[in-house]
Structure formats: structure tokens, C-alpha cells
């Protein structure tokens, strides 16, 4: 190769001007042998173009193999791209039709952009070396089955001069791509021998989905043509050229005679420069990809998405960093690395990036622990050394200026330029580089010396050195051992220029450690933050379809911006879809009219912010044109799409979705039409569709799975251009799932649907991504802004009720009544009614009552329904309404019933929906009438006034007032009760008679727990919470060997699982063979408090228990109240190790009185007489008395017995434990057997006794008399407890008596 062409860049857009040292041929010119000329008609070679490389000319210029097509699509640039939809098992090839000249041995690089779409690109591609084959045995069954997936291979097909294919060279591309992004792929190959032509070539092997390629380019410059030759004079001696330029030879070495000159063609190198616009962005900002490695086209720029983190492997990522000399310096153990000049992302380029060998310039510790810049020089510290380096953009100009041992610093963050010096924090304190460098020591004279002691105490500069046992560390004289900081603080400094101050603070140590890299950051998709979730208050309506069957009337709603929700339920039954998106959904099927609509629902888009969402799964076939969610304007009877209604449906092609607003009665889309086009709508696939309306721009958008939306403006202007409700019959509007405009007969859609919602906001893209939740959705309850309050439920189960004592109720006035209650129950059989509440006037006529009926009620229409009823003062029913929904579904419901006797109106709402079943046979429409008034009323929650027909489910949230209210929505958020205003009674409009919203009715009503809880009886009232343990009997529980923990709840459930008794397990009560059980209910949470329990047990141990167990009662510290002569008539002693009180003669009495006084508030006191053993030899009498000062709680001299357990031997063979109150008999205890007895009391001084027989372990028998004393606010004092009786008893003796009290 000879000759050199010298070219000069021309201005952009101009042709290249040749400035050649090689002259062109000239006529009549003398040429010496060896002279070189070029043709005067030389033309520069150019890169051969790939025909239709960007496919913008349409389907031409390419040979399309299996699956390939060229079509309008979202191309990388322009509007066209080649797409391959994939055919299973059949590779598809795409080959350009241009035969480009190529010479053998030429290296060609080709590139293009590829988008894998949503194809799942897997690594399971079976790759063979180029042109290798994989031989399988012959036979029809010998297949090699590769995993599904796709790959793309890019390369060339080479042809010989006869256009015969001689070789295909391809490069399989990396398949580690994210879906739906464009990536650049390249391939480089060398033309094989005999190559004359080459064609661009792509091969895919996709089994599913769509792959797109676009924008091919290569660097092929054809070689071998004559235009590449220059010509050398080879004649002997000099000669003159002819007049006419010769016809130049076209082969290398070819000669031509030109007058006296003989020219020989020789190969030359030519370069053609063409000025092109480079890196010019487009007219509009591209949509930036969010996936690392994705590329987007912008003008003639292809932008690639890269992560912000520096990914150069030589970047140490340490926290010791300084900027100097247009570079970033960072400590890296024993060296200090620096980046390339002006490119902090590059830490590798030789002779630009590199490192300073700081570790080689010191004798002590290595490891860079601080960096700073002092007067343009880099300061490098480790714990014992300090270096100053001259730094420069040119690495070769960097040099070590100084290195000083003994001046170390381990606190990079405390290095701070101050004025013209550099402060740093050494082990001794704050020092400056100017002084330290000048004096080469740290000890004296520096700025920080005055506070050294203070700083040292803060820094805790010295760590510790732990030596193995027996080892000593011997240091030579005058040697000191510096240890690294213990690392509890991370000193931090700054310079405050406007005050001229250096601040040194001591924040706690962070995760970064001097000299170490901070924890690596794992890139990934940022978690969806619930910060982006919209608020629950922005929901206009939300259906979650959780009901197992029925009309799916459950929804959450509120009235917003004129969007009031009607009260009609979905009126067609559908099957349950389980599991749905969140819990259950519904199945919409074309057959059998299984569609859903909701009438009376006005959802005004108008000029409001508005959104709607629906989730669904497609089935095995797609209903093209089928409606998904729509709103109608015509009557229920003939659903037709009316003016300014909207519909969301599958498009007519069945491959995408379409949202339309109709501006005329005819079926057109002239309001707005959002058509997604072909999105490859798939069967058996989950979709979330979101429609939004932005009133500011009047744009509506349709999102699919939180992707990029299709957006269009509403026709008609920017403001108030669409008002769905204003031109239609308000009451007949529908929101419908699955209908089409022609009614019930055609173009229905079969889907599995869940989570339909309408919003009063224009959801943002971030909102939608958050709600999408990676395809999992959210429950309404998970939205932020929920009222977290949820009234607690009390378990009644016919075990008790709340009541006012007869004649001691409230005073009713007027002829209106209102009751609200939050309840839940399951179905029951037996045709027994259960009363949720009943309130009677003084003479027994019911002002209001709610009765729920059994599932086998004799009147079929009442089964599982609730009936509310009001009588006038004469006892005639003047209102009787039945619910139109079943309430015995184990779901929480809110019943709102109010009656106005003056106007004859009633409001009956359940869960925010009008519940009046107008077709109820026995319905008594609200009629004007006077209700009974006056005091001495009778109130019951959970039972009828006769205390029968008791409630079997749960009850929370209750209230009663004698006024007429209709504001049901004020008590709820959606169908969830809200916390009430207890001071202003905003919801009640005045103070109610009784109410409670925390799971108990304790305001002016007394708890009544049914007597005689025994196995098979009912469950007591208690909070709703599951027990930790459950057994069918106490004997089985005790024999289970289970490890109960103090505070566990033990449930003894009957064989039919219908009833149970709950106990609390108190470890401290496990003594004398007793199991430690205490009845958990009806004592509520008073016994659940761990602190209370612990304190009580400690009190027991300290004051009573241990002293009484096996001690002479004389040393108990109790008062001897015995009568007669001690040791003659009675005695306190020990009998075979047991404490004993004994009446010796029967003429006196024996008793001891505790010294303790106990003040009871609302908690329950449990008094336990453990191991009471009564002899048969003696007569009956009080065993335990609880004294209480009567009247004035502080009047200790006026004591009355408030509770008593007595032993009654009036029956021949049995001792009885009884309470003093008549009729409160307990059960028997056997003679001679230690028996545990409980007495329970609360602030009402309601007493009970419980017997637990040690031999047979019945499930406990509990009796509680109805509460007699009104509640007091300041508690009740139990003055003392007396064991035995000083005046009346002829009691025998106690053995092994222990007394425990608990608060």
C-alpha cells in the first residue's frame, strides 16, 4: 500500500474538499519513473446502506420468514418496525434484500434495536457453535425439546459472486432483557473466503409473544472496485503523458500506456469524510425508560438508561472521598484511587484514572481513614500517618510532597477546611494541617489544644485490646500503643463561613466504617410505597363482592360532589369466584344472564375529577365487543345506552379495550373514544383497567395494568363538557357489569370480576401503580385514611344480657324512638327468636324492639331476617318492618331503626341500605301514634324484657334515644361504624339514654350473666377473642400435658361445639392440686392485665397465702374475733400440718378477720378460699364473710356483710355452699375433701361463688345474682374478710384454708 490521502473536514453539510499531496493525472506532463497519480474522476467509497433499514418504507426490501411482518407499531423510531409474533418450534428469519459488495476477510459490524415485548425470555436456549449441527437419532419420537422462550440472533449471510449462499454467521444475543423496552444488539463477523456479497440477517426463535426489531445499520464499505486504485509510473526513465487521460486499469497490477508513460494500478487507501449532524435531540422529549439498559430514540441520539451508582469496578465506594485536580479521590485500603479527569464514572481508563500508592509511603498502619484538600494538595491520613500529595489532572504530574508519621486521623468527616487551613481530628484532639505539617508533631501549640481533654472524652479515642488469658503485652520503654477508635461516635465537622466558625459535633457512629466500603446497594425495582395509595375518602363507591352469594350489596360509599348512591342492590344473582383478586369475586357469564347491575347510582363525571377501576380475569375465550363496565341512562326495564353515558368494553376486534362516552342516543363514540388498539388481549389473563378524568385538562385516560395510558380529550371543550347525569332520568341510572347497549340479549361478556370502584379523584399514574400492587390489588380496608376504629364485639351467645333493673330504667318522653346497634350472628335452628334489644315503657309496652328469627322459623319469610317493632301506649303495633336481607350470615351489620309517632314515619337501614321489605306479609306500615312515656322503664340489650329470647351472637356499638333520626350515614364510614362523639353527641343530636361503642354496655345498664354455667350451657358474655386452648372437659385439659402460660385462655367447649366456658390460667394459683383456672368471663379484661395479675399474685404470696398454708392462724396477723375462751371454746392451731379454725365446745364462735381493706373500682375482685375442708362434725354457719362499710364508704364502724359463703348442714348428707342472698345456692361440696371456692365481686358488689370440685372437676358452676347496687364512681371498700363467724356460727373447722384476694 502506498500513498496517503490527506483530507480536511468540511463544514457540516458540505462535501469533502480533497487536499491531496497525491496529484491527479495531468495531460502533457513529464512524469519520472515512480511518480504516482490518481484519476481525475476519482469518487470516494461510501458505506453501503441496508435497504429500508428502519422499515419506514413499509413491507419492502426484506425477505420475511416465518412469523415476521413489517407493520405500523410502536417502533424504536418512526412508525414501522419488523415484528415476529412467534411460531412454536419454527425459527423465523428476516433477511435484507440488498446484496452489498464485500471482500473476503473484511470485518463487518451490524447493529439494530430489539424489543422483546412481553415475551418471557429465558436462558434455556440450546446454543451450538456456529455452523455446527446437533444430530439426533432418526425416528419420529426423537425430538430435542427446548424450554419455551425466545432468542434473537443477528448476523450476516454471505454469498459468492454467483449469488450462492456460502455462509451464515450469526451471534446469539444476550437474553437478559426486561420486557417492553428497546435494547441495542450488535454482531461482528469477518467475511469468509470467496465472499462477494453480504446481506443483513436476523433469526428468531420465539415460541410466544411478539419480538420487534428496528433501525439496522452496519459499517460495511465495499472493497475491490477500481476506484480504490492509484497509478504509478513504471516506465524506465521519465516520460510525458498523453493529451487524453487513459482508461485506467481496474485490477491490481494492471498497466496502461499513456504516451511515454506506463501506469500500473496499485492499491490505495482512501477515506471519505462526510459531515453529519451528531447527537441532535428530537423536537419533543422522549418517554424515558425506567429499566436499566433500555434505550430510547431521540432525534439521532439513542439514550441508554444507566444506574446512578458508579458501576466501575475500580471505584472503591469508600466514604473517604475528596475532590481535587478535576478528579475524585477515594481511599481504598492501602492506596488512594482517583477517577478520570472530569469523568467521575470512569475509574479505569489508563493514564487518566489510577491510584496513589499511599500505603508505600509509610511504615505504620495502612488503610486510608481520612482525606482532605489543603491548598490544592491532597491530604491523606491513616490512623498513624499523614501525607500530602500534589495532585493534577494529569496523573503523571502527581507526586508525594510530604509524609509524616505520628500524625494520624481516623475521622474523615471531621476534616474541614477553615479559612486558609485544614482542620482535622486526631486522637489527641483538633489539629490543623498548617501547624502539624510545620511542627511534625501534634502535641502543642495548635488551635485545638485547649479542648483536647474535652474532645478526647467525647471521641473515646482509644479502643481496647483484648489479650488471651494469661497473655501480657510488653512495650519497650517510651513506647505507646495507639488503638483505633472504639467507634461509638462519628465526629462530624463543618465550617460556618458567615460566623467564621468551625463546628465539631459528635453524632453516633453510623454504618460506615473508616476505610471500609459502605454496605453495597442492591439495585432493584423500588418497592411500591403506600405513600402513593389514594385515600379511602376519595372512594365514591367500592364493591369487593365478598358475600358468598346473593346480591352483593355490600359496598363502601360516601356522598361526594352530588354523587349520592341509591339504595337498590345488584339485582341478579351470580356465582362466587374464589379466590378473586382480593378474597372473593363474582363470575359473570354470558349464559343465564349472570350479569350485575346497580341502579339508582349517579356517578357524575361532569367537570369533576373522576376515576373508575375494575379488575377481572379473562376466560378461555374473548367476547369481542363485550361490555365490561358501563353506565346507563334509561329505565331498568329496558336498558339502553343513552346520551352521555359511558362504557368500557372489549374492542370489536377482540384484541384490546375501548372506553367511550356516548353523546347521542345512537351508538357512537363522539364524546371520547379511548381505544388501546391491539394489545394482544389474552385469554386466562388478569387485567386492571382504570379510567380517569382530569377536569383541568378534560383529558380522559385508560390504563391497562398501570402501564402507559391511552389518553384523549373530551370533545366539546375544556370545561364542563360532559355531564353524565344532567340529561337523563336520575333515578334510573345504572352501573352495569357485563351488559351491552342492546340490553340483555347480545354481546355480553364473560369474565371473573372483582374490586370495582369509582373515585372522586383523578387518580395519578403513581396512584394507579400503587393500587395495581404488582397485580395483587388492595382491599378497601388497606387504603390509607381509614378510620382504624372498629367497635369491639361482645360475645353474648345467650349467656347473658344487659338490663336496667325493673322499675329502675330511664325516663322516656315523646313519641319518637331511635336505636342503633352493631351486631353479628350465625344462623340457628329451633324456631326460637332472639332479641337484639327491647325497650319498654313503664307499663310494659314496647317502644322499640329488634328480633331476629331462626333459619327454620315457622314463618318462612322471616327466616334469618330481623324484624323491628314499635307499639303505641295502648299496646297496639304501629310499626313492624322486616329486613329485606338475611342478617344471620356471620358478618357484621349495623341496624338503624327510628320511628316517629307524630308523623308516622320510620327509617330502617341496615349497612347503609334501606332494609324495609315492603312485601313482608305481616308488615305494619309506620302509623301515627303515641308511645308510652314516663320513668320506670325497662331496657334490655341482648334479651327480651322478660330476660328470655336471649341474643346468641355478638353485639357492640349500641345506642338508644327517644327522638327521630334519619342520619344513618353520620354513624358510619361506608358500612363501617365510626368512632362517635362522646361529648357533643353529634351523631345522636343529644345525649342518648344508653350507648356504648367499645364492645360493652356499661353505661347505666347492668350486666347480667346467666346462672349455673355448667357443661353444655351457654357461653358467658365476653370480648370477642379466640382462646389459646380448647378442650372438651377440664379433666381432658388437665391431662393434656400442654404447657399453658400464665394468662392463657382455656376454653372448655361442649361436645356439640355450641357452648363453652372460658377460664383464665393463672400460674400462681396452681397449688394444692388445683389447676390454676379462674373464670375468665364475665370478668372481662380485668383479669387479663398482666400487671394486675402479677401484683395480685405477689400480694397473695406476701400477705395471706404462704402464711395461711400450714401456719397456725394465730400468726396470720388477722384479728381474733372468736367468742368464748380461746383454747377452751375455740382454737386456732395446726392439724396434721394444716391451718385450722376449730370450735371446740359449740358454745362460742371462731373466726379471724383480715387486716386488709380493698378498694374496688371497676375491676373484679376474686377472693379464693383454697382447700376449704369442712368437717361433718359441726353445724352449719358462715364460712366467709365480706364486710363493707354501708353508706359512707369511709365509715368503718358501720359495717355490713356484703357477701357471704356459708356452710349449711341442714341437708343430711351434703354440705352446701350458699350465698347469703336468698336463692343463690351454689352446689355441693363433699365432706373431708379440700375444695377451692371463689367469690367474685365487682364495684356493684355483685357476688358470686364458684365451686371447683377437686375430684370430679366439673366445668365449674357459677352463679351471679342480678346486680343490686348502683354503680358508684369512686369504688367500694371491702373493709375486711372474715373467715368463720364470731357471733352466729357453730362452724366446725377449716383445714388447709388459704385466702387469696386479687384485684
Partner 1 sequence: MSDQVFIYTMNQGKVTQGKWSRYVFPFVIEVFAHLEDALYLRHGDNVSKVVENEVADDGVNFEGIIQWPWLDFKSPGRDKMMMGFDLVGEGTLSIEVGYDQTTLHGFTEKFAITADSLPGQIIPLPVTAPSFSIKLTYDGGQAWEWDSMQLYLQDFHLGK
- Residues of the shown chain interacting with partner 1 in the complex, contacts defined by CB under 8 A: 418-419, 423, 430, 447-448, 450-451, 454-455, 458, 488-489, 492-494, 496-509
Report the distance separating Cα 1090 and Cα 1064, nearest Å: 12
Q: How far is the CB of 488 from partner 1 (least distance, A)?
A: 7
Q: How far is the CB of 492 from partner 1 (least distance, A)?
A: 7
Picking from 296, 259, 245, 303, the residue whose alpha carbon sits closest to that of residue 279 is: 303
Burial of residue 1066, with CB atoms counted within 10 A of its CB: 0-12 exposed, 13-18 middle, 19 or more buried: buried
Q: CA 183 → CA 179, 215, 324, 1089, 1129, distances in Å? A: 10, 11, 37, 63, 107
> 2 or 454, CB closer to partner 1?
454
Q: How far is the CB of 1170 from partner 1 (least distance, A)?
A: 53
* Grid cell of 1229 as nine digits: 361440696
Neighbouring residues of 36: CB distance < 8 A, sequence distance ≥ 6: 2, 3, 22, 230, 231, 232, 233, 266
> 490 or 538, CB closer to partner 1?
490
Give the Cα-Cα-Cα angle 262, 263, 269 (nearest 5 degrees): 165
> 361 or 456, CB closer to partner 1?
456
Q: CA 410 → CA 269, 381, 485, 712, distances in Å? A: 61, 7, 7, 61
Task: Please name every residue paired with 1278 in a beta bridge, in sequence order, or none if there are none.
Answer: 1158
> 149 or 429, CB closer to partner 1?
429
> 70 or 425, CB closer to partner 1?
425
> 279 or 499, CB closer to partner 1?
499
> 502 or 1031, CB closer to partner 1?
502
> 490 or 568, CB closer to partner 1?
490
* Grid cell of 1094 as nine digits: 402479677
> 412 or 1074, CB closer to partner 1?
412
> 460 or 1162, CB closer to partner 1?
460
Q: How far is the CB of 494 from partner 1 (least distance, A)?
A: 4
What DSSP string runs through 286-352? -----STT-EEEETTEEEE---SS---TT----S-EEEETTEEEEEETTEEEE-BTTBTT-S--TTT
Q: How far is the CB of 391 from partner 1 (least distance, A)?
A: 25
> 11 or 497, CB closer to partner 1?
497
Q: How far is the CB of 530 from partner 1 (least distance, A)?
A: 19
Q: How far is the CB of 415 from partner 1 (least distance, A)?
A: 13
Q: How far is the CB of 418 from partner 1 (least distance, A)?
A: 7
Report the distance separating Cα 1208 and Cα 491, nearest Å: 81
Asked if residues 483 and 463 have their Cβ atoms less than 8 Å apart, the reply is: yes
Picking from 1062, 1086, 1064, the residue whose alpha carbon sits closest to that of residue 799 is: 1062
Asked if residues 169 and 191 have their Cβ atoms less than 8 Å apart, the reply is: no
> 99 or 506, CB closer to partner 1?
506
The 3-state DSSP class for residue 831 equals: coil
Q: How are beta strands 1049-1053 and 1029-1031 bridged, if at all?
A: parallel
322 phi/psi in degrees, rounded to 5: -145, 155
> 267 or 447, CB closer to partner 1?
447
Q: How far is the CB of 430 from partner 1 (least distance, A)?
A: 7
> 459 or 854, CB closer to partner 1?
459
Element (H or E) spanning 533, and its range?
none
The single residue listed with the C-alpha cell 374475733 is 1121
Report the distance separating Cα 38 and Cα 42, nearest Å: 7
Report the distance separating Cα 1053 and Cα 1296, nearest Å: 32
Q: How far is the CB of 431 from partner 1 (least distance, A)?
A: 12
Q: How far is the CB of 413 from partner 1 (least distance, A)?
A: 9
Q: How far is the CB of 80 from partner 1 (least distance, A)?
A: 51
Neighbouring residues of 1188: CB distance < 8 A, sequence distance ≥ 6: 1199, 1200, 1201, 1202, 1245, 1276, 1277, 1278, 1279
Q: CA 354 → CA 370, 394, 396, 436, distances in Å? A: 19, 10, 10, 28
Asked if residues 929 and 899 have their Cβ atoms less than 8 Å apart, the reply is: no
Q: How far is the CB of 497 from partner 1 (least distance, A)?
A: 7
Q: How far is the CB of 419 from partner 1 (least distance, A)?
A: 6
Asked if residues 534 and 761 have their Cβ atoms less than 8 Å apart, the reply is: yes
The single residue listed with the C-alpha cell 327491647 is 838
Report the distance separating Cα 58 and Cα 55, nearest Å: 5
> 491 or 959, CB closer to partner 1?
491
Asked if residues 835 and 819 have their Cβ atoms less than 8 Å apart, the reply is: no
> 288 or 496, CB closer to partner 1?
496
Neighbouring residues of 952: CB distance < 8 A, sequence distance ≥ 6: 796, 797, 798, 825, 828, 834
> 380 or 489, CB closer to partner 1?
489
Q: CA 833 → CA 28, 836, 953, 958, 1297, distances in Å? A: 130, 10, 12, 20, 47
Q: How far is the CB of 458 from partner 1 (least distance, A)?
A: 5
Asked if residues 1237 and 1248 have their Cβ atoms less than 8 Å apart, the reply is: no
* Grid cell of 790 as nine digits: 372498629
Task: Please name every residue paired with 662 in a beta bridge, in sequence order, or none if there are none.
Answer: none
Q: How far is the CB of 1166 from partner 1 (least distance, A)?
A: 46
Element (H or E) spanning 1148, and its range?
none
> 506 or 1231, CB closer to partner 1?
506
Amino acid at each position: 500500500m502506498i500513498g496517503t490521502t490527506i483530507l480536511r473536514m468540511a463544514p457540516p453539510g458540505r462535501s469533502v474538499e480533497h487536499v491531496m499531496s497525491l496529484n491527479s493525472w495531468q495531460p502533457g506532463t513529464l512524469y519520472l519513473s515512480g511518480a504516482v497519480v490518481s484519476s481525475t474522476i476519482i469518487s470516494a467509497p461510501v458505506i453501503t446502506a441496508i435497504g429500508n433499514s428502519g422499515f419506514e418504507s413499509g413491507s419492502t426490501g426484506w425477505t420475511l420468514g416465518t412469523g415476521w411482518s413489517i407493520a405500523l407499531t410502536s417502533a424504536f423510531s418512526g412508525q414501522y418496525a419488523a415484528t415476529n409474533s412467534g411460531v412454536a418450534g419454527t425459527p423465523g428469519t428476516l433477511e435484507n434484500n440488498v446484496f452489498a459488495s464485500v471482500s473476503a476477510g473484511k470485518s463487518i459490524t451490524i447493529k439494530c434495536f430489539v424489543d422483546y415485548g412481553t415475551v418471557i425470555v429465558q436462558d434455556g436456549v440450546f446454543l451450538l457453535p456456529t455452523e455446527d449441527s446437533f444430530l439426533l437419532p432418526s425416528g419420529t419420537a426423537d425430538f430435542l425439546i427446548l424450554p419455551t422462550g425466545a432468542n434473537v440472533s443477528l448476523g450476516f449471510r454471505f454469498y459468492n459472486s454467483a449469488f450462492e449462499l456460502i455462509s451464515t454467521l450469526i451471534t446469539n444475543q444476550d437474553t437478559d432483557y426486561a420486557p417492553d423496552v428497546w435494547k441495542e444488539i450488535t454482531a461482528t463477523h469477518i467475511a469468509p473466503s470467496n465472499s462477494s456479497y453480504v446481506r443483513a440477517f436476523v433469526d428468531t426463535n420465539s415460541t410466544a409473544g411478539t419480538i420487534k426489531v428496528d433501525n439496522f445499520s452496519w459499517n460495511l464499505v465495499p472493497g475491490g472496485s477500481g476506484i480504490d486504485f492509484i497509478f504509478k509510473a513504471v516506465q524506465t526513465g521519465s516520460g510525458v503523458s498523453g493529451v487524453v487521460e487513459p482508461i485506467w486499469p481496474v485490477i491490481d497490477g494492471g498497466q496502461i500506456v499513456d504516451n511515454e508513460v506506463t501506469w500500473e494500478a496499485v492499491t490505495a487507501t482512501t477515506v471519505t469524510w462526510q459531515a453529519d449532524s451528531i447527537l441532535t435531540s428530537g423536537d419533543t422529549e422522549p418517554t424515558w425508560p425506567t429499566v436499566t439498559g433500555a434505550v430510547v430514540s431521540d432525534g439521532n441520539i439513542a439514550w441508554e438508561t444507566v444506574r446512578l451508582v458508579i458501576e466501575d469496578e475500580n471505584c472503591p465506594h469508600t466514604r473517604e472521598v475528596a475532590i481535587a485536580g478535576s478528579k475524585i479521590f477515594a481511599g481504598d485500603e492501602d492506596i488512594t484511587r482517583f477517577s478520570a479527569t472530569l469523568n467521575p464514572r470512569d475509574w479505569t481508563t489508563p493514564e487518566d484514572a489510577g491510584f496513589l500508592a499511599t500505603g508505600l509511603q509509610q511504615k505504620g498502619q495502612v488503610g486510608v481513614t481520612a482525606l482532605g484538600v489543603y491548598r490544592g494538595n491532597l491530604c491523606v491520613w491513616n490512623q498513624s500517618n499523614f501525607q500530602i500529595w500534589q495532585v493534577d489532572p494529569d496523573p503523571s504530574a502527581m507526586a508525594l510532597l510530604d509524609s509524616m508519621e505520628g500524625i494520624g486521623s481516623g475521622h474523615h468527616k471531621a476534616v474541614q477546611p477553615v479559612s486558609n487551613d485544614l482542620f482535622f481530628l486526631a486522637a489527641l484532639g483538633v489539629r490543623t494541617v498548617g501547624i502539624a505539617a510545620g511542627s511534625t508533631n501534634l502535641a502543642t501549640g495548635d488551635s485545638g489544644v485547649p479542648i483536647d481533654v474535652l474532645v478526647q472524652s467525647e471521641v473515646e479515642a482509644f479502643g481496647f485490646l483484648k489479650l488471651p488469658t494469661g497473655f501480657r503485652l510488653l512495650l519497650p520503654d517510651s513506647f505507646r500503643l495507639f488503638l483505633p477508635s472504639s467507634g461509638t461516635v462519628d465526629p462530624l465537622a463543618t465550617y460556618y463561613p458567615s460566623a467564621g466558625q468551625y463546628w465539631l459535633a459528635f453524632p453516633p457512629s453510623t454504618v460506615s466504617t473508616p476505610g471500609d466500603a459502605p454496605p453495597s446497594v442492591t439495585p432493584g425495582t423500588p418497592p411500591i410505597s403506600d405513600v402513593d395509595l389514594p385515600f379511602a375518602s376519595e372512594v365514591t363507591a367500592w364493591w369487593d363482592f365478598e358475600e358468598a352469594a346473593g346480591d352483593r350489596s355490600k359496598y363502601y360509599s360516601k356522598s361526594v360532589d352530588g354523587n349520592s348512591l341509591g339504595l337498590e342492590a345488584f339485582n341478579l344473582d351470580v356465582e362466587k369466584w374464589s379466590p378473586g383478586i382480593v378474597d372473593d369475586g363474582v363470575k359473570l357469564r354470558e349464559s343465564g344472564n349472570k350479569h350485575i347491575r346497580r341502579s339508582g347510582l349517579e356517578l357524575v363525571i361532569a367537570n369533576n375529577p373522576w376515576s373508575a377501576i375494575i379488575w377481572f380475569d379473562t376466560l378461555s375465550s374473548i367476547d369481542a365487543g363485550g361490555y365490561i363496565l358501563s353506565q346507563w341512562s334509561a329505565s331498568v326495564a329496558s336498558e339502553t345506552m343513552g346520551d352521555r353515558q359511558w362504557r368500557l368494553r372489549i374492542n370489536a376486534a377482540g384484541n384490546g379495550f375501548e372506553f367511550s362516552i356516548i353523546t347521542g342516543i345512537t351508538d357512537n363514540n363522539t364524546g371520547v373514544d379511548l381505544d388501546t388498539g391491539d394489545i394482544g388481549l389474552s385469554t386466562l389473563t388478569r387485567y386492571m383497567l382504570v379510567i380517569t378524568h382530569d377536569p383541568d385538562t378534560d383529558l380522559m385516560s385508560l390504563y391497562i395494568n398501570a402501564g402507559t395510558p391511552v389518553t384523549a380529550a373530551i370533545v366539546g371543550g375544556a370545561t364542563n363538557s360532559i355531564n353524565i347525569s344532567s340529561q337523563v332520568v336520575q333515578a334510573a341510572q345504572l352501573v352495569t357489569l357485563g351488559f351491552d347497549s342492546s340490553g340483555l340479549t347480545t354481546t355480553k361478556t364473560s369474565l371473573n370480576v372483582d374490586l370495582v370502584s369509582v373515585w372522586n379523584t383523578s387518580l395519578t399514574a403513581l396512584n394507579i401503580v400503587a393500587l395495581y400492587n404488582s397485580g395483587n390489588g388492595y382491599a378497601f380496608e388497606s387504603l390509607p385514611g381509614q378510620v382504624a376504629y372498629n367497635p369491639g364485639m361482645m360475645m353474648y351467645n345467650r349467656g347473658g344480657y344487659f338490663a336496667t333493673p325493673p322499675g329502675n330504667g330511664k325516663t322516656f318522653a315523646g313519641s319518637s324512638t331511635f336505636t342503633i346497634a352493631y351486631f353479628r350472628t350465625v344462623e340457628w335452628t329451633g324456631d326460637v327468636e332472639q332479641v337484639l334489644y327491647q325497650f319498654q315503657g313503664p307499663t310494659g309496652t314496647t317502644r322499640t324492639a329488634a328480633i331476629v328469627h331462626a333459619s327454620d322459623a315457622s314463618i318462612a319469610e322471616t327466616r334469618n331476617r330481623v324484624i323491628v317493632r314499635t307499639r303505641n301506649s295502648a299496646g297496639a303495633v304501629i310499626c313492624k318492618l322486616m329486613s329485606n336481607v338475611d342478617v344471620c350470615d356471620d358478618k357484621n351489620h349495623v341496624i338503624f331503626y327510628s320511628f316517629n309517632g307524630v308523623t308516622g314515619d320510620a327509617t330502617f337501614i341496615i349497612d347503609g341500605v334501606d332494609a324495609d321489605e315492603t312485601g313482608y306479609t305481616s308488615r305494619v306500615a309506620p302509623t301515627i301514634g303515641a308511645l308510652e312515656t314516663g320513668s320506670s322503664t325497662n331496657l334490655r340489650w341482648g334479651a327480651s324484657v322478660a330476660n328470655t329470647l336471649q341474643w346468641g351472637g355478638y353485639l357492640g356499638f349500641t345506642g338508644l334515644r327517644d327522638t327521630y333520626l334519619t342520619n344513618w350515614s353520620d354513624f358510619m364510614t361506608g358500612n363501617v361504624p365510626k368512632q362517635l362523639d362522646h361529648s357533643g353527641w353529634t351523631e345522636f343530636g343529644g345525649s342518648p339514654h344508653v350507648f356504648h361503642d367499645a364492645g360493652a354496655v356499661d353505661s347505666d345498664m347492668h350486666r347480667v350473666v346467666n346462672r349455673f354455667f355448667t357443661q353444655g350451657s351457654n357461653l358467658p358474655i365476653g370480648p370477642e377473642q379466640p382462646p389459646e386452648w380448647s378442650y372438651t372437659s377440664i379433666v381432658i385439659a388437665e391431662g393434656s400435658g400442654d404447657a399453658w402460660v400464665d394468662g392463657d385462655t382455656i376454653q372448655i367447649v361442649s361436645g356439640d361445639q355450641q357452648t363453652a366456658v372460658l377460664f383464665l390460667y393463672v400460674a400462681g394459683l396452681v397449688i394444692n392440686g388445683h389447676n390454676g383456672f379462674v373464670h375468665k368471663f364475665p370478668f372481662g379484661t380485668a383479669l387479663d392485665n398482666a400487671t394486675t395479675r402479677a401484683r395480685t399474685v405477689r400480694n397473695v404470696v406476701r400477705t395471706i397465702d404462704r402464711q395461711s398454708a400450714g401456719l397456725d392462724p394465730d400468726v396470720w396477723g388477722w384479728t381474733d374475733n372468736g367468742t368464748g375462751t380461746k383454747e377452751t371454746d375455740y382454737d386456732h392451731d395446726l392439724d396434721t400440718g394444716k391451718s385450722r379454725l376449730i370450735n371446740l365446745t359449740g358454745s362460742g364462735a371462731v373466726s379471724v378477720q383480715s387486716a386488709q381493706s380493698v378498694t374496688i373500682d371497676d375491676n373484679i375482685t376474686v377472693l379464693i378460699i383454697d382447700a376449704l375442708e369442712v368437717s361433718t362434725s359441726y353445724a352449719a354457719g358462715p364460712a366467709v364473710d365480706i364486710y363493707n362499710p354501708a353508706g359512707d364508704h369511709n365509715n368503718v364502724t358501720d359495717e355490713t356483710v356484703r357477701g357471704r359463703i356459708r356452710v349449711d348442714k341442714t341437708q343430711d348428707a351434703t354440705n352446701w355452699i350458699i350465698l347469703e342472698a336468698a336463692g343463690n345456692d351454689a352446689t355441693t361440696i363433699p365432706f373431708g375433701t379440700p375444695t377451692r371456692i371463689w367469690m367474685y365481686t365487682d364495684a356493684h358488689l355483685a357476688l358470686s361463688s364458684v365451686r371447683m370440685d377437686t375430684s370430679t372437676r366439673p366445668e365449674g358452676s357459677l352463679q351471679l345474682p342480678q346486680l343490686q347496687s348502683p354503680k358508684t364512681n369512686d369504688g367500694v371498700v371491702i373493709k375486711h374478710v372474715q373467715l368463720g363467724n364470731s357471733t352466729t356460727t357453730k362452724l366446725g373447722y377449716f383445714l388447709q384454708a388459704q385466702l387469696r384476694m386479687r384485684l
